[in-house]
Structure 1
Amino acid sequence: MLLTNHTMVEQLKLTERRIEQIKKLFDLTQTDEENMQAAEPFITRNLDWIVEEFYAKQLTHLEVEIVIGDSDTLQRLKNSMRGYIQEVFSGKFDEHYVSARLRVGKVHKRIGVSPALYMAAVRLLWDILSDQFEKDHLEGNCSREEVDKRQRSLTKLLMFDVQFVFETYTGALVAEVEKAKLELEHYAHDLAETVAKQTRELKEFSCQDGLTRLLNHRAFYERMRVELAGCARRKEPLTLIYFDLNGFKGLNDMQGHVAGDQMLVMIGKCILASIRETDIACRYGGDEFCIIMPGATNGQAKDVCERLIQCFIARQEGEDIAFSIGICQTGPDKFLSADELVNAADKRMYTAKNASRDTAGFWLCDSQETLGKYGRL
């Protein structure tokens, strides 16, 4: 087996079922995920301070300073730490999360971080985050009991993370290539491919909006989290387009829901005809749509919006329908969370909608809060 043909998660056979088993060993439950999510708003507000405090204390040790070596490496580590802390308080400890922990172990081993240094850093991070929980309590945002729960959940989660990191430290990454397992894998290959195909098809179906065949609301947030993490790792921007329809209620009232559904299907087709190959189109709900654009800037998003509007105008047959569009870019240096990005784009969409009430048409408010009318109506 060529290691470069497989992810670390695949090499270690860390299926979703196996990850759930390990979470049970650490007593990492849904309650712990909720405890971390509850602390997320306060942690996010203080994220920059937390990262700076962590490295200020780390760099008091000469051995740590020697390992880091230069300012560029330090900045990359700070960016990685920001991403890690955001993942810790996302409450999503799945295969994507585990894969990131394995990469951390590999990188630390490669640059020469000893187990002692790594464990000391974990202990320091626990202290800093625990102090933030206490501060949140002192400011009246949570009870003493909630602080204790968050600290216990954080302890379990960090220990959960440490064991994955040390999988790579101890060389388990390249272990256990046994003949019996290979023979079993060959024997079961056809059956596994069939099951995998059916599983993919079921997963795709569960992620699709039944009417437009775009991604649905649940899948939108799953993809958003993955794409934000990828763009942060690559230091690329990500832009979100959020829009809804003006006049859609009137169409439903006057012509019925069949006509409304036909309109939504047509808009879905216009979106797919207008976006880039790497973009992700979603029906957020009702007559609201989102387009996730990894690696795209505010200007590129406006280009897609113009193509979408022109495509829609060309296909529309007299209905008094237009769009109110909000655009928000995040990155490449600092990133909003998925909820923050949606809220920012939604706010700009409502700015455009307010303008459309005075003058009908396709209105757009972009990342620079620039408001403009597009196309014709």
Structure 2
Amino acid sequence: MVEQLKLTDRKIELIKKLFYLTKEDENNLLAAEPFITRNLDAIVEEFYAKQLTHSEVEIVIGDSETLSRLKNSMRGYIQEVFSGTYDQNYVTNRLRVGIVHKRIGVSPALYMSAVRLLWDILSDQFEKQYEEGLCSRNEADERQRSLTKLLMFDVQFVFETYTGALVAEVQKAKQELEDYARDLVETVAKQTKELQELSSQDGLTRLLNHRAFYERIRIELAGCARRKEPLTLVYFDLNDFKQLNDNYGHIVGDHMLEALGATILSSIRETDIACRYGGDEFCIIMPGATNGHAKDVCERLINAFVARNDRHKLSFSIGICQTGPDKPMSGDELVMAADARMYLAKAQAKLEPGFWLCDTQETLGKFGLFAAGDDA
């Protein structure tokens, strides 16, 4: 504590000057030491007898063992008061007293009342010295004034520990509050993000849902227009998916959609956005991509889907539409155009089963030979 308060010998001497505590005061108290030492036990007993008349003090002290320790500490303190030496060791002991008092719950009011009581008892001892002819009237008065200075000197060090502890508690509480606030902000942000993801995500396929699709296509179209880049939309639909549900049940159909969602995510570029548009219809938003880039991704998607080797040999029909960088379409226009091309591909798939694709130029192409409902 001395180090924390930077209490060097020089600083202690400066504090003594603030309290007008001089070498003469040290000598005055040292001169009273023999008489005080002879009466030390009586002084301590009187002090605690009066202290224990207060219920608050009784509660703090608690038991006889604690009382015994406190009496021994008081004996030591009174001996230090009349030692005539008030250096760093003396100050360290006063700071230690403050720490102990704060720890056991002694309030400043209780502490100050104890100091006042000790002053009264020791002042009475000076009067007895005078009455017994051991000192003059002036010497007794000087000793009392010196005692007052020293006790005030002691009190300010004890209060340093009280205020230091309070500041530390405030700082700790502030840090805990800041930590709690930071954790709360992070928790809220995390939960908000999770809620946003849940509200924008299709629960079965983990792709973006219909509402999120329109939010993202609007954002991506604006970004591509600003950067003067194209954007291509891939729109596809599973062929004869209703027949699969009717023949094998919706659980099988859901497993198929779930698997297709995972296959789409593993096939697209990092910058692409995959969405479940509704039912068995899916969209892939491809910022910065041309018609050719989209066809490459679709071929990769078809190959990955076929490689699953599912016994329900489903295929899908794909429509592709590129917009920009000149005369970009709106989101609705882009969806309608890609949807129209998807239906051209689907019409061809009804005539010749397989994966059919209709691109921006309305060119039809076929991939694979699987027909819906065939068994492996």
TM-score for the superposition, normalised by structure 1: 0.50
1:322 pairs with 2:352? no
1:220 pairs with 2:219? no
Pick closer, same or farther for the CA change 1:237–1:185 going to 2, 3 Å. farther
Which SS does the other structure have where 1:317 is aligned? coil
Q: Partner letter of residue 356 of structure 2?
A: W
Which residue in 1 is equivalent to 2:200?
A: 207
Identity %: 74
The equivalent position to 1:286 in structure 2, one of 270, 279, 296, is 279
Cα shift readout 1:173-222 (whole Å, capped 9, x = no counterpart):
xxxxxxxxxxx999843322221111011000110101001000000000
CA contact (8 A) 1:216 1:282 kept: yes
| Misfit runs of 4+, over 6 Å | 184-187
Which residue in 1 is equivalent to 2:95?
A: none
Q: Partner letter of residue 229 of structure 1?
A: A
1:257 pairs with 2:246? no
Which residue in 2 is equivalent to 1:369?
A: 362
Alignment of 1:189-204 (within 5 A): 189-204=182-197
- Between the aligned partners of 2:271 and 2:368, the Cα distance in structure 1 is 25
Aligned residues: 194
CA contact (8 A) 1:306 1:375 kept: no
Cα shift readout 1:234-277 (whole Å, capped 9, x = no counterpart):
11110000000112111101100000001001110110110000
Which SS does the other structure have where 1:373 is aligned? strand
Which SS does the other structure have where 1:363 is aligned? strand
TM-score for the superposition, normalised by structure 2: 0.50
- Between the aligned partners of 1:185 and 1:284, the Cα distance in structure 2 is 44
Unaligned 5+ segments in structure 1 are 1-183
CA contact (8 A) 2:233 2:284 kept: yes
- Between the aligned partners of 1:209 and 1:188, the Cα distance in structure 2 is 33
Alignment of 1:1-377 (within 5 A): 188-377=181-370
CA contact (8 A) 1:264 1:287 kept: yes
Cα shift readout 1:119-147 (whole Å, capped 9, x = no counterpart):
xxxxxxxxxxxxxxxxxxxxxxxxxxxxx
- Between the aligned partners of 1:308 and 1:260, the Cα distance in structure 2 is 19
Cα shift readout 1:270-290 (whole Å, capped 9, x = no counterpart):
101100001000000000000
Q: Partner letter of residue 213 of structure 1?
A: R
Q: Partner letter of residue 374 of structure 1?
A: F
CA contact (8 A) 2:341 2:362 kept: yes
Unaligned 5+ segments in structure 2 are 1-176, 371-376
- Between the aligned partners of 2:328 and 2:183, the Cα distance in structure 1 is 43
Q: Partner letter of residue 214 of structure 2?
A: Y
- Between the aligned partners of 1:369 and 1:219, the Cα distance in structure 2 is 28
Root-mean-square deviation (Å): 1.5
- Between the aligned partners of 1:339 and 1:242, the Cα distance in structure 2 is 13
